[in-house]
């Protein structure tokens, strides 16, 4: 298995912040050094948190870390394929757009059709600090854009009309109130 996913069940998870939360609206700062303890310690916990949620992506701000760090695993054919992206940047995007249904671990149970560029080229540092570039389309392109948005304090509902966004935010607030701990 990948170096970032050893003995997953032994790694602590981190509580996922639910919208509206100020940290989810805040721009995250770049990672200064990839061998920093924070990143080495953070990525395995982010993967453990994402796999258990479960989700296909997770960004630092969702777990209270305002750092430009992303964990992604689309689990192709049900096999783990973890990708760690540090300081990712979209360096090219297609004019062609694509629409797909998105969800977000920070908006549990909420889904909507989101339109974004169909293809993106993303430059980033991997978990070893090596410079990498990836061209993506389909679900991976949507996921990369969704996660990079999180690093800029943007949620998928920010791509919707104010009417749809407000409907989702009110529904989420109501459901969260009805959970234990609310009211
Ligand atoms: O689990 C997730 N599924 C998803 C589906 C379509 C587009 C993006 C995503 S990411 C989401 C997990 C999440 O909230 N990441 O920030
Ligand atoms: Ni999300």
pTM metric for this prediction? 0.94
Q: How many CB atoms within 10 Å of residue 141?
A: 24
State the DSSP H helix or E strand holding residue 125, giving kind and residue range, or none if neither.
strand 120-125
In tens, the pLDDT along 109-143 reads 999 999 999 999 999 999 999 999 999 999 999 99
Does 159 sit in the ligand 1 pocket, CB within 6 Å? Answer: no
Q: Which of 143, 147, 149, 172 to probe ligand 1 with, by most ligand atoms within 8 A of CB?
A: 143
Task: Give the percent of the chain with pLDDT over 70.
Answer: 94
Q: Is the pLDDT of residue 4 over 90?
A: no
Looking at domain 8-181, which of 3.40.718.10, 1.10.287.3510, 3.40.50.2300, 3.90.45.10 is its CATH number?
3.90.45.10
- Which of 72, 84, 74 lies closest to 40 in space, CA to CA? 84
Q: Is the peptide bond before 145 cis (omega within 30 degrees of 0)?
A: no
What average pLDDT does this structure show over 23-48? 92
User: Domain boundaries in the chain?
Assistant: 8-181
Does 103 sit in the ligand 1 pocket, CB within 6 Å? Answer: yes
What pLDDT was estimated at residue 30? 97
What pLDDT was estimated at residue 181? 63
The token pair that represents 21 in the structure block: 């939360």
What pLDDT was estimated at residue 39? 87
Q: Is the pLDDT of residue 45 over 90?
A: yes
């Amino acid at each position: 298995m990948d170096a970032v996913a050893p003995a997953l069940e032994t790694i602590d998870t981190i509580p996922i912040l639910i919208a509206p939360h100020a940290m989810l609206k805040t721009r995250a700062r770049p990672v200064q050094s990839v061998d920093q303890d924070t990143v080495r310690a953070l990525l395995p916990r982010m993967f453990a948190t994402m796999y258990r949620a479960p989700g296909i992506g997770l960004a630092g701000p969702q777990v209270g870390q305002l750092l430009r760090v992303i964990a992604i695993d689309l689990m192709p054919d049900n096999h783990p394929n973890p990708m760690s992206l540090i300081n990712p940047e979209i360096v090219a995007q297609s004019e062609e757009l694509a629409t797909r249904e998105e969800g977000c671990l920070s908006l549990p149970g909420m889904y909507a059709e989101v339109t974004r560029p169909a293809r993106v080229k993303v430059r980033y540092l991997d978990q070893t600090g090596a410079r990498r570039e990836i061209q993506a389309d389909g679900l991976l392109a949507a996921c990369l854009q969704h996660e990079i948005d999180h690093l800029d304090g943007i949620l998928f509902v920010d791509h919707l009309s104010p009417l749809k966004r407000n409907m989702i935010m009110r529904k989420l607030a109501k459901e969260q109130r009805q959970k234990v701990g609310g009211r």
